[in-house]
Amino acid sequence: MNAQTPATGKATQETLVSVHRWTDKLLTFRTTRPADYRFTPGQFARLGLMVDGEMVWRAYSITSAEAENALEYYAIVVPGGLFTSALIRLQPGDPVWVEKLSYGFMTADRFADGEDFWMLATGTGLGPYVSILQQREVWHQFRNLVLVHCVRHAEELSYQEKFESLRAQAQAAGFPARLQLIVMTTRDDDAAGSDHLHGRITAALLDGSLERKAGLAITAEASRLMVCGNPDMITEVRDILRERGLGPCRRAGGGQFITEDYW
């Protein structure tokens, strides 16, 4: 039975189920799921670890499917960070506290229309899209799904097999949307025969190479975008999109893009 943490009645004590290391700095970890826990793909959870007698809280996007029994998260190890320094020492079976509420407004149901759904991410900003692309409704809501993941080195391109599997499953099920995966690296030199784009998302938007790669134009009429990751990148992308006549989504409705800083 889940016990309430002594720090707050707003969370339940859960159990670390597994940890997968993508690189020495990137990891996916899973916890048990609190009873009656609800979230919409794209939202994040607040997690707590007891560190030196004090509860340390951090927010992580949920990467698992909406109906899964466990909750999954994608994290970067921050050098000297209290939370991740403690996290990488944990073993399956150790306690992790999960707040009972989920948070965030970066969810696909905020788009009332649109044909092309662009998901732009740097680094671990990829996290929300892992869950969103496991949401059946998204594959029926849009005609084109375009996932863009930009990292420094190719070894940081996590979840690629997962996305390929989701694309194959959707095709087999006859879902109408088509998924494109566009990966970008900023530090690696272009390898011969590589289909990666080289450079930053902002540069690829400005010179048109991102749209050429996708075979789709970003327009206010057809395009709906989510942008998640580096705050500087998000600020620049907002400016680029506004110059093209796109605006941010509002709670009252309307708009073409949603952004979320990822640290």
| pLDDT score for 4 | 43
For the stretch 6-38, pLDDT in tens is: 445 899 999 999 999 999 999 999 999 999 999
Beta bridge partners of 248: 257
pTM (predicted TM-score): 0.93
| pLDDT score for 22 | 97
Share of the chain above pLDDT 70, in %: 94
Q: Where are the beta strands (DSSP E) in 80-152?
A: 95-103, 116-122, 144-151
> CA–CA separation, 243 vs 127, rounded Å?
28
The mean per-residue pLDDT over the stretch 82-111 comes to: 96
Inter-residue contact 128 to 41 (CB < 8 Å): yes
Residue 183, CA distances (Å) to 120, 198, 250 in order: 10, 9, 29
- Is 3's pLDDT higher than 60? no
- Is 60's pLDDT higher than 60? yes
Share of the chain above pLDDT 90, in %: 89
| pLDDT score for 45 | 97
| pLDDT score for 250 | 86
| pLDDT score for 190 | 59
For the stretch 120-176, pLDDT in tens is: 999 999 999 999 999 999 999 999 999 999 999 999 999 999 999 999 999 999 999
Q: Which residue has the higher pLDDT, 9 or 76?
A: 76
Inter-residue contact 148 to 118 (CB < 8 Å): yes
> CA–CA separation, 59 vs 45, rounded Å?
6
pLDDT confidence of 262, banded at 50, 70, 90?
low
Q: Give the helix/strand (H/E) hosting 167.
A: helix 160-173
For the stretch 165-217, pLDDT in tens is: 999 999 999 999 999 999 999 998 655 446 789 999 999 999 999 999 999 99
Q: Give the helix/strand (H/E) hosting 13.
A: strand 11-21
pLDDT confidence of 261, banded at 50, 70, 90?
confident
- Is 115's pLDDT higher than 50? yes
Computed over every residue of the chain, the mean pLDDT equals 93
